[in-house]
Amino acid sequence: MNWLNKMERKFGKYAIPNLPLVIVIIYAFGFLMSSFKPDWVHFVTLNPYAIIHGQVWRLISWVFVPESSMNIFFVLIFLFFYYSIGRNLMMTWGKFAFNLFFFSGIILTVIGSFALLGYFELFAKEYVNLVETKAVLLNGECSKAMGGSWFYYIMSFSFSTYYLNLSIFLAYAITYPNMRVLLFFLIPIKVKVLGIIYVIVLAFQIAISFTSGVNNGLISLVAIGSSLLNVLIFYLILRKGKKRFKEIKRQKEFKKKIKEASEPESMIRHKCAVCGQTDVSNPNLTFRYCSKCNGNYEYCQEHLFTHKHIQ
């Protein structure tokens, strides 16, 4: 953890203060663009071939591409969910560590795309030419605006924000393994169980892609692996740095308690019976009463399903 502490002392001032909100705004913009101008994604995906031929904006613009088409209801749920877990991670890890995690995911994904470009240009050029020939016969020449190469244009859609978002969720599952979420809005399930399910699904997805050819499997493996590599890195950091993250959490909780003690009781409407957080100290929390507890006990979203029922 010494290197992380040194980096934070040196570069911590450049960390974005409310990165989860920035991420949500970026995704919201991407969803709006996809709704009103669906063709825009063809010109902003992570296409390494197009990047080395001058379309350098793709190094960043692919982050604006949404996961998939959703209706407005699911978009709002998606944005709120990722803002919530992102904010919780930032509060636990600290502003700099969360910034480092998110941007390392972007950088590793870009590196993965260029690694595939190098592989296909050096070792599998015949396969690229074969795909190009078939694509030209079906669609005609690929325009320069779309990257100039059908093969790399198609490959660029493998590098998606889906895996970047999944890395945030897996990091959340590692940090808060016993936290519960409502599956299909009805079934409470621990996030570590969902995390395990996602990993199994990804492994199955990679295995299936290899059945359609080694090159297809390699694209899937690198696209998924490079996007999720930061989860492995931060898992190792979490194992070694639990003391540091606990200290950060204790400091934040202490500051909240000091602030809460100075607040008039009349301003507080909701208060968690476990952690003591209120709607004043943390306006982003959702509070609910527990019907199984004997009495009017209220809990925040972090402890609603994990507290011990009072009888």
User: CA angle at residue 271 from 290 to 184, to 5 degrees?
Assistant: 45
The confidence score (pLDDT) of residue 282 equals 78
Cβ–Cβ < 8 Å for 20, 87:
yes
The pair of three-digit structure tokens given for residue 8, joined into one six-digit string? 């934070």
The number of CA neighbours under 13 Å toward the Cβ of 76 is 3
Q: Under a CB-based contact definition with an 8 Å cutoff, are residues 19 and 97 in contact? A: no
Question: What would the two tokens of residue 266 be?
Answer: 């009349």
Q: What is the pTM of this model?
A: 0.77
Q: Is residue 184 over pLDDT 70?
A: no
- In the chain, % of residues over pLDDT 70: 88
Burial (CB < 10 A; 0-12, 13-18, 19+), residue 230, is: buried
Backbone torsions φ then ψ of 309, nearest 5 degrees: -70, 135
Q: pLDDT tens digits for 137-148?
A: 999 999 998 999
| Residue 253 tokens, joined | 């909780």
Q: How confident is the model at residue 260 (pLDDT cuts 50, 70, 90)?
A: low
Closest CA to 92 of 183, 188, 193, 174: 174
Cα dist from 55 to 47, 148, 293, whole Å: 9, 11, 59
DSSP state of 143: P
> Smallest Cα–Cα separation from 234: which of 11, 16, 13, 1?
1
pLDDT tens, position by position, 66-105 = 876 667 878 888 888 889 999 988 888 888 989 999 999 9
The amino acid present at 158, given as its one-letter code, is S
How do the domains of the chain map onto residue ranges? Answer: 2-245, 264-311
Amino acid identity of residue 128, one-letter, is V
Task: State the residue for tokens 């527990």.
Answer: 290
φ, ψ (nearest 5 deg) of residue 45: -70, 165
